[in-house]
Structures are given as C-alpha cells and as structure tokens.
Chains A and B, each alone.
Chain A
Amino acid sequence: MSNLYTLNIEQVVNGIKNGEFTSEEYVSQIIERIKRVDKKLNSFITINNNALVQAQQIDKKIRSGSAVGSLSGIVVGVKDNISTAGLKTTCASKMLSEYVPPYDATVIKRLKDKDAIIIGKLNLDEFAMGSTTEWSSYGLTRNPWNLDYVCGGSSGGSAASVAAQLCTASLGSDTGGSVRCPSSFCSVVGFKPTYGLVSRYGLVSYSNSLEQIGSIGRTVSDVKKIMDVISGKDTNDNTTIDTKNNNINNNHYDLEQNNNQKIGLLKELINGADEPVYQCIYSAIDKFNEFGFTSEESSLKSSEYALASYYTIATAEASSNLARFDNIRYGFELNPDDYEWNTYFSKARGNFGDEVKRRIIVGSFVLSSGYYGKYYLKAQRVKDLIKIELKNLFKEYDLLLSPTVPVLPFKIGEKIDDPLKMYLIDINTVLANLAGIPAISIPIGFKNGLPIGLQIMADEFQEKKLLNIAEVLEKSININTSYPDL
C-alpha cells in the first residue's frame, strides 16, 4: 500500500491490526517521506533512528497474538522541549545542543505504553519563546502551504509536520498560544488542555504557571485520541489535578441535542482581526448557526490587559526557569577549568539566542527590587481578573469564539526585527493560558492560499464538551479535503 502517510490514527491502528499493512511498512514510508519533504520545511531537528526497530517489535507482538495499545503503530512527532530518554532534547538552543535526557517525560511514557512510536523531535522557537519558529538555532521551519511564509510558533515543527503528513499526530507545548497559533497558520487542529490536566514532568519549563502540553492533528478526532492517552493526574507533577469525572474519552455527541448550546462571540478579539480573518470567522459562524447553535456577541473587557499580563508573568518565570543553564552539568562543550565562575556562567549563557536573552532580561526586570509590585504583582492580579471575567461569561455561554490569530500568516522575516509586533500575534491566545481554560484551534478557511483558524474556548475541565462540539463544527465547515503537495 502506498500513501499510508495520509491515514488518520484510527486508520493506522486498525490497518496494522487487520494486517492491511505492517507497522514497519508504515514507518518506512514515513521516514522516506520525511527525507524527501522535510528539506523544504525543516520541521525536524532529530529523527529517532530506533523507530524502525520499534515498529518491527509491534509487528512481532501482533503476529504472536499479544495485546497492543490503543495507539499501536502510529508515529508521533514530539516538540523538542519535551524530554525523551536517549534522544537528544535541545529546545532548539545552543545551550542544550548536546543534551540527552536520562528520563522520559510522563506524556512520552504514556504514549509508549500505548505502543505509539516517537518518530523524532520537532523544531520550535528556542525554549518555546516565539510565535514563528524563526528563533530556532537550527533554522526556521517553513509553512507547508507556502514556503515563503512563516508556519507560526513556537510549536512550528509540530504543526508543519502534521500538515505535511510527516507524522500521524504531534505533541507541542502551549504557553501563550504556541500550539494553537502554528495550528492556525498550518491549517491543522491544535488543542491546549485545562491547566493541570496534563503532566508537565519532562517539559522544559518556560513559564510554569501558564504552560501545558497539547496535541496537534489533522482532525479533532485524532487530537482527542492523543489527549485521552496523555491526560490525567501524575505523582511526578504536583500541579496536576485529579479529573476522574472529566475524562476526555469521547462519547459521540448527538447533533439533535445541541439546540441549547449558546456560543459567545468575543467582539474585541473579532473586531481586532484583519479583514480577511474576520470575514472568514463570520462565514464559519453562519454555518454553525445553520447547524442549530445560537451565537451572539459578547464582551471581555479585561482582554485589553491580557497581553501585558502574559508577557510580565511569562518573562518573569522564564528568567528563573532558565537560570539553571550554566553549562556545568549539561549543555555544550566548554571546559570550565580556567574560568572564574561569574565569567564562565555569563560567557556560556551568552549563547542563548536574541529573543531568549531579551525575555530573560525583561523577566529579571519585572521581578527586581522596586518593580515587583508595579509589574509582576499587578500582572497576577490581572490574571485573576481575566479568570473571573471568563468564568462569568461561561455562566451564560457554553463556548466562546474568536479568531486564533488576528492576522494571516505573513512572510518570513517580516516581523523579526520588532519584538513587540511579534508579541501582538498572541493577543487572542494568551487568554486561555492566563485563565487556565481549555482552547482549540480548528481550520476554517484560506485567503490567498494562506490558512485561517478559529479559536474555541470552554470553561476549565470542560474538555469533553469542547472537543465534542469542536468535532461537530469541524464537520459543519468541512475544510480540509487536501493537504499541501510537497
């Protein structure tokens, strides 16, 4: 069988189980495609050389009649800031260019337990700081729909590889929109769970009170299947929460019963978008209304301060989380023998990229003596306010809608010289991180061949509702019938 790379999760798992093709065949085709296509995109940093052997082991298990996991045989790409034992984890940074973790992140363990195969590590903005993957020390990743355009970030490799069908699904991390933004730019589905639903053990921290590991797939159904496996309380992460009553396992959502679903349209966010974007949003909303949903305009007053709050908190936490990179225990080759320690640390850390350095410095500033109250403390208060306002909105609405990103994907290099302009891309996505609520981006159209994404948010722990409704909306729009020809 050829073109196995176009299959979704269910098709791969069943196809292998039913003997239509082997796991080894599937993985071989994927690897061959990656070799052929990825030189155009640069979405992978490292390929797992062991993948074929792991595929053979799955085939062996199946032949011998042993049970295999619910994801057996699928290939998952993993953002390179999630620890994989024995496989280099660089965070796209010179500071970790030679780091091989001795342990697996919890999410990786859970995927492996279900017999998924980790195909490789995916490109990102260095330490997940960025919105276009242009800040990677391994070079940028290109948008599969138009190679001159950015693919979004920071999980650019995760989105591009899924859109280019180089893996069945992928994992990313989302601190301020880093799963949803590239998903929107690459016309795939990207999901960020409620804070505390997925273990961060093994995720290299950028901003620990805001980030979550999420998944990217070509359909909502695929994303659901990944989330189902990786979610759940973990004793290795004290911030994970017991969610026995909130498991994401999908029961098929009955269309007949959705008459009472009310959708809030966040006007500040929709009106703040470029014209082609909000046009597309409105056509999508029309289609939803045809399906029986009620939608009306709603307002989130505190959204004006969200971005300032986000960048204050995120940079502050980053400045502390990245302090451990002093090159003494892990990093790159630089013998400390003749260096005085302050000099050694400062010299080694000079190897961070520009964006990372800027954020560390801003972060140190907002925490520093005399500024802590004005910035960090205030930002936390705004965060609380946004959470409360959204909670109140969710009393009235089942879901809230907005464009994922206010702009169309733009040309490579267009915003790289203006950090603040770059930050404004996150203006819609940071809300969900600040409030700790689940959010998804689904593709809803194109303009001039460039993808547009719709963001849907639900109240915390309403994953089930969000994903089920998103699946219905996805079907009602029915956008992705083809993928970029690479």
Chain B
Amino acid sequence: MTSSLPVKIGLEIHCQLTQLNTKLFCSCYCNYREKEINSNICPICIGLPGSLPILNKKAVEFAIMISKALDCKIPELTVFSRKNYFYPDLPKNFQITQYDSYGTSTSIGKEGSVKYGENDKIARIRRIQLEEDPGRLVYENGRMQALIDYNRAGVALVEIVTEPDFNDPKDVRTFLNKMTSILEHLNVCNTNLEGSLRCDANISIGNGKKVEIKNVGSFSDIEKALTYEITRQKTMTVHDIEIKAETRHWDDKRKITKQARSKEEEEDYRYFPEPDIPKILLENLSLIKTPELPDERKFRFINDYELSEHVSQVLIDNKDLADLFESAIKIYHSPKSISNWIVSDILAFMEYDSSGKKTITDEMKINSKHIAEIAKLVDDNTINRSTAKSIISRIVKTGELPSDIIKKEKQITTIINDEKILLESIDRIFKEEKKATLDAKQNPTAINFLLGKIMRLTKGRADPKITTILLKKRLDEEV
C-alpha cells in the first residue's frame, strides 16, 4: 500500500562562487577560510549604517555561465530583492537575493534542465539566483551564547532550485555528483572547500505536505536523510498520522531527521525589490564563454580517444583525474593505457573530501609526468604491470620519477625476459609444487597458480607472457 505512494523530492543547492576574488557586494576577500576572526570586513559586508551594496560583475558572469550550463532561459534584465528576517548572523537583518514572491521572474536563470545518470534521466531546473551568504555563528563552550564572525558575510552564492522531479534518494546522489562535476568544470566553485556546496531538500509523499530537510553535511548524508525521511513519512501515513509541513534538521549522530528550532518558523519575508541596486541589462551574453562541460568532455574522450563509457565517466566524475589524463597524454600519447592506469590505480589513492567526493590531495605527489612515464615504460616492456603498481604507490608518497626509481633499484624493477633465467625459476617451482605441477598437466587453467608462484619468486619481475609460454612448453615436455 505504502509503496504505491509517489515520492516527490526537490532540491535547493547553494553553491559558493569560491573562484571569485571578492564578495558579491564589496571588495573584501571571497576566500574567508584561513583568515583571522572578523578581519575580512568593511562597512558594506558588516552592514554599517549608510553603507551601500556594489554588485560584482564577475559574479553575474559566473551565474550566467551556470545558467547556460544548466540550459536555463536568461532574462534581458535581472533584478535583486530583499528577503527580510532577523537573525544574529545576518548583518543587515535582511538578505539581498533575487527571489520575488510576487512572481516577477527576474532571477538570472529559469526553466532549465540537466541530464544525469546512466539512463539519461532529466531533472528540471526551476530557477537560478544570486544571493549573499550570512556570517557564521559559533557557540561558546557548550553554552548557546552566540559568537559571530562576519568574515563570510557577503560571499557570493548561487542558489539552484530544481523541480520536484526526483523520487529516489539514489538519483538525488547521482544528480548531485553531476552538478558537482559541472560546477567544477565551469571553474566557478572549488567543491573541495568546506561548505562550498550545500544542499537542502523538499520531500513529500502521496501529494501530502512538503517537509524541508536542512543542515545536511555531505551529499552522501542527503541520500541517508532522504531515505530515513521517506520511511518516517510512509510509517506515519500507514498509521494515519498527519504529516506536518515543517522544516527538519538532519542529526548526523543519531542518523535521524528531527524538527527544527524556531528559526525556520513560518516567516513572512516581505520581499520587495532592492532599491540600492539598479536593474542590470544582460547584453552581449555570447561573449561569456562557458568552458567545456562534463558531458561534452566525456563525448570527446569516447570519440577522440576511444575510451570506454565507464572509464570516461569515472574521469569526468572526478575533474582532477580528467585534467591529469589530458596533461599526461600530451606528454605520451597513449590514451587507453594512461586512462586505465589512472582509473585503476591512482583512484585508489585519492581521499574523500568533505562533500564525499574523491579528490587528489596536496599530499599526493603524483602528476602527469609520472603517469606518462609509467605508461610508456610498461608499453615498452621495460617493466611489468605489477612492478609498475608498486612503483606508483611509492611515487604517490615521494614524487620520484619512475625512470629515477628504476635506475636506483635496477635489480628489483627490470623485467626478466631471459629465457635461461626463467627456465631456472620454472624448474625450481616444479620441484616445490609437485602436486600443482601434476594438476597443471591435466588442467591448463591451473597454470595460473604456478605462474603466480614464479612471479613471487622473481619478485614480480618475470615477464608474464614469456613465462607462460615457457611454462606450457615445459609442462608438455615433462611427461
């Protein structure tokens, strides 16, 4: 019965335009993270009486790029408005945004769509708007006394609102990964930075009341929170308990959603157009070029480099890897092998960042030169695959070039392809593994076990192809 209740999920994504130099309405630093408390402020962002907002041109251009990338309609004129509410992290006790509840749609983009997932599902974008971030509230020593830091106040945000087109939390996760990739490729947001990409969700089941889920830390948590919330709502419905339209917060410790405190009370925001910012005429938009988007890049990888769909997708999902790939193939043009090295080996060393995405950290000392060399060394048969793998793990820590490592550690790296030496190893293994040898004579697939032993004996240096040929020959010989 409950499984037939349709689930509708809509998303509200807040993307900090971290790649700007300055804030949205003043010339203080956009990058507030490392700064001493309350040192990144001016009369405008701290809301001193008499201060006036001065709009950042590049922020508007970034927002236009995002609108284009999400296939949105961009209006001729864009207008800002005030959202009026009180809160200690809000210097003016109103937020300058673009939402106008009266329906005059002048935000920077609307009615777009995004394809995501394996089956090219579509999520419609309702609107995109620019707005300012509030300051940060910190709580003093377990007491609820607020301590306020205004360094972040005024940083530019783009809010992306989707239609309630999702009905599966897994799809939400996939979509968010796609959004992350798009924003990274546009170079408007460094999604690795903490708090740079946040997402709230609205969920209703069976056309019931909408519940808003806020305060979710990462995208993997959103999937959990939505899954929990669906269960909660379905259970309530079964027991005929009314679902209230409310805001709930995700409690990561207890892994549940719970009713939010009074901040999110039904508020009358009294929106009206911001008198201090003129209408902005958006002209010559064709001059604002969007960098290559993930889908376009993936298409190029498949067509130009003949990479598989799967490998291309992995590279695109992690922009760092796609970039690594393209610079490596400039050095040594072997797209298939380089991409495989990256996807199978480098990926394993990457760490999860705060948004749940894998990223190349500063500690990883591997770059395109290393990868190009590894690929070439293996393709030339100078070293074999397992040696290459162990070198990679060393490079990630030390940053040494593969060619240097080989020079230093000749005995442990060079491939053994000398038949005489290999035959010696084979004979030794035959002595040590009599039973297996007998098996191998009957059963050809058992050769792999022997091959494995030989690889161990030669510390991975035996050339697998030649060794296999010799093994077969030897087994046939020994009657």
Point out residues on A near B: beta carbons under 8 Å.
82-83, 89, 91, 96, 99, 101-103, 105, 200-205, 208-209, 235-239, 316-317, 319-320, 323-326, 328-330, 337, 341-342, 345, 364, 367-369, 372-373, 376-377
Distance between A118 CB and nearest chain B CB, rounded to angstroms: 15
* Per-residue interface assignment for chain B, residues 271 to 294, with 1 indicating a CB less than 8 Å from any chain A CB and 0 otherwise: 110011110000000000000000
In the bound complex, residues from chain A placing their C-beta under 8 Å from that of B272 are: 316-317, 320, 367, 372, 376
Asked if A238 and B55 sit within 8 Å, CB to CB, the answer is yes
Cβ–Cβ < 8 Å partners of A325 in chain B: 49
Distance, CA A337 to CA B145, complexed state (A)? 7
**Interfacial residues of chain B within 62-95, with CB under 8 A of chain A in the complex:** 82, 84, 86, 88, 91-94
Whether B122 is near chain A, meaning CB under 8 Å from some CB there, is no
Query: Which of B86, B102, B275 is within 8 Å of A208, CB to CB?
Result: B275
Asked whether any CB of chain A lies closer than 8 Å to the CB of B423, the reply is no
* B side interface size, CB within 8 A: 33
**Residue in B closest to A364 when the chains form the complex, CB atoms:** B270
List, in ascending order, chain A residues with CB within 8 A of B275's CB: 208-209, 239, 317
Given A89-B49, A324-B91, 4 extra CB contacts under 8 A? A201-B51, A320-B270, A328-B88, A372-B101
Contact of A101 among B48, B86, B92, B148 (CB under 8 A): B48
Cα A180 to Cα B76 in complex, Å, equals 39
Q: Which of A202, A239, A324, A326 contacts B276 (CB 8 A)?
A: A239
Q: Which residues of B contact A235 (CB under 8 A)?
A: 54
Interchain CA distance A324-B272 in the complex, whole Å: 17
Q: A99-B49, A320-B270 are in contact. Are A329 and B91 (CB under 8 A)?
A: yes
Chain B residues in 8 Å Cβ range of A105:
50
| Nearest A residue to B46, CB-CB | A329
Cα distance A82–B272 when bound, in Å? 25
- Give every chain B residue within 8 A of A369 (Cβ-Cβ): 101, 268, 270
Q: How far is the CA of A386 from the CA of B145 in the complex (A)?
A: 50
B405 at interface, CB cutoff 8 A:
no
Measured CB to CB, the nearest residue on chain A to B51 is A201
What residues of A have a CB within 8 angstroms of the CB of B466 in the complex? none
CA distance A373 to B101 in the complex (A): 11
Q: Measured between alpha carbons, how far is A372 from B275 in the docked complex, in Å?
A: 16
Question: B81-120 CB contact bits vs A (8 Å, 1 = yes)?
Answer: 0101010100111100000011000000000000000000
The chain B residues found within 8 Å of chain A, CB to CB, are 43, 46-55, 82, 84, 86, 88, 91-94, 101-102, 145-146, 148, 262, 268, 270-272, 275-278
**CB-CB under 8 A for A201 and B93, given A238-B277, A320-B82:** no
Complex alpha-carbon distance, A377 and B270, angstroms: 12
Contact in complex: A323, B50 (CB < 8 Å)? no
Check if A202 sits within 8 Å of B145, measured CB to CB: no
Q: Which residue of B lies closest to A199 (CB)?
A: B52
A238-B55, A323-B86, A324-B93 in contact; A96/B49 too (CB < 8 A)?
Answer: yes
B26 to chain A, nearest CB (A): 10
Does A324 contact B50, Cβ atoms closer than 8 Å? no
Q: Which residue of A lies closest to B54 (CB)?
A: A238
User: Contact check: which of A236, A330, A367, A376 meets B48 at CB < 8 Å?
Assistant: A330
Contact assessment for A368 and B49 in the assembled complex, using a CB-CB cutoff below 8 Å: no
From known contacts A324-B91, A341-B88, infer whether A203 and B270 are also in contact, taking CB-CB under 8 Å. Answer: no
Q: In the assembly, what is the distance between CA of A238 and CA of B52, in Å?
A: 8
- Least distance between A459 CB and chain B CB atoms (Å): 20
Residues on the A chain within 8 Å of B50, using CB: 82-83, 101, 105, 200-205
How many Å lie between the Cα of A330 and that of B124 in the bound state? 45
Q: Which residues of B contact A204 (CB under 8 A)?
A: 49-50
Residue ID in chain B nearest A373 by CB atoms: B102
A/B interface sample: 22 pairs, CB < 8 A: A83-B49, A91-B49, A102-B43, A105-B50, A200-B50, A205-B50, A238-B54, A238-B276, A239-B275, A320-B270, A323-B84, A323-B93, A324-B91, A324-B93, A326-B93, A329-B47, A329-B48, A345-B86, A367-B84, A369-B268, A372-B272, A377-B102
Docked complex Cα distance between A203 and B50 (Å): 5
Nearest 8 pairs of A and B residues by beta carbon: A323-B93, A367-B270, A209-B275, A204-B49, A208-B275, A202-B50, A83-B50, A324-B92
Within 8 Å CB of A341, what residues of B? Answer: 88, 146
Are B52 and A236 interface neighbours, CB within 8 A?
A: yes
Complex interface: chain A residues within 8 A of B271 (CB): 367, 372
Nearest chain B residue, comparing its CB with the CB of A202: B50
Tell whether, in the assembled complex, residue B52 and residue A237 are in contact, meaning their CB atoms are under 8 Å apart. Answer: yes
Question: Across the interface, which residues of B come within 8 angstroms of A201, CB to CB?
Answer: 50-52
* CA A249 to CA B49, docked complex, whole Å: 31
Give the residues in chain A near B46, CB-CB below 8 Å: 329
> How far apart are B246's CB and chain A's nearest CB, in angstroms?
18
| Complexed CA–CA distance, A96 and B50 (Å) | 13
Q: Which residues of A contact B268 (CB under 8 A)?
A: 368-369
Report chain A residues within 8 Å CB of B145: 337
Residues in B whose Cβ lies below 8 Å from that of A372 = 101-102, 270-272
Chain A residues with CB under 8 A of B94: 320, 323
Chain A's nearest CB lies how many Å from the CB of B86?
A: 6
Q: Check A324 against B53 for contact (C-beta < 8 Å).
A: no
**Chain A hits for B43, CB < 8 A:** 102-103
